[in-house]
Amino acid sequence: MSAPATRQQYGFTLIEILVAMAIFTIIGLASTGVLNSVINSDQLSSERFAKLESLQRAMLTMERDILQIVPRTVRVNSEFVSAVLTGGEDVLESDADGISFVRIGWYNPQMLLPRSTLQAVGYRIQEEQLQRLYGNYVDNVIGYEPKIKTLLTDVEDFRVSFLTDREHLEEPEKWQESYSEKALPLAISITIVSKTFGEIRREFMLANGQ
């Protein structure tokens, strides 16, 4: 018997190779697009989460300070200021509203540090930053400059208002827009307008309010 004929082997044609390369290129481009989308989404989520954390820290800091307000006057440039709390437009050279007061509860373990547990603090807006101003001493000498800590960025507006009459507790439009008195108000409202989170309003009832 004669030997069986061997099958003739063929290679890929140029067209087949080009088609295969085109398919792999399309798959690669699609994979790259998906990967970039995932990376950008993750980066955006991380940035958003970081801003949310900053907002939470800022609100907790303000809440702690405001709820610990005490009716204590301060001395500025060696002169006493009669008001225990000052708030409204242009306070502390703010681009919007500002507020300044004295709070208690500044931790000083066993009074080891050369200061009291009282602290003069203030809040203002400058260059779209919500800033907290503070110092080591309540009464400061001439030339003293407060320390500044930025709590939030991209802040478009900062407003404060004050409640002095309980009858207007549920009527925010009737709260005072400025305050400078020898007694504390009943409540303080803080409104922050953020480019990221929009308008945020918080109201704080004061234990030492009039």
Q: Which helix (H) or strand (E) holds 190?
A: strand 187-194
Residue 97 placed within a domain = yes
Residue 8 placed within a domain = no
Residues 6+ apart with CB under 8 A from 3: none
pLDDT in the model for residue 57: 94
Residue 79 placed within a domain = yes
pLDDT in the model for residue 11: 65
88 and 160 Cβ atoms separated by less than 8 Å: yes
Residue 94 placed within a domain = yes
Query: What are 11's two structure tokens?
Result: 């290679």
| CA–CA dist 199, 155 (Å, integer) | 10
| CA–CA dist 156, 130 (Å, integer) | 9
Residue 44 placed within a domain = no
- Which one-letter DSSP state was computed for residue 166? G
Considering its fold, how many domains does the chain have in total? 1
Whole-model pTM: value is: 0.77
pLDDT in the model for residue 77: 66
pLDDT in the model for residue 92: 93
Residue 68 placed within a domain = yes
189 and 203 Cβ atoms separated by less than 8 Å: yes
pLDDT in the model for residue 137: 84
Residue 56 placed within a domain = no
Residue 80 placed within a domain = yes
Query: What are 23's two structure tokens?
Result: 């398919």
**pLDDT per residue of the chain (210 residues) written in tens, 0 to 9:** 545 555 455 666 877 777 778 887 888 777 777 777 777 776 777 787 888 899 999 999 999 999 999 999 887 766 778 899 999 998 999 999 999 999 998 888 877 778 888 999 999 999 999 999 998 888 877 677 889 999 999 999 999 999 998 887 788 888 999 999 999 999 999 999 999 899 999 999 998 666
In this structure, what CATH number is given to the domain that contains residue 146?
3.10.610.10
| CA–CA dist 5, 56 (Å, integer) | 82
Which residues span the domain enclosing 187?
62-205
Three-state DSSP at 102 gives strand
Indicate if the alpha-carbon torsion angle 38, 39, 44, 46 is positive or negative.
Answer: positive
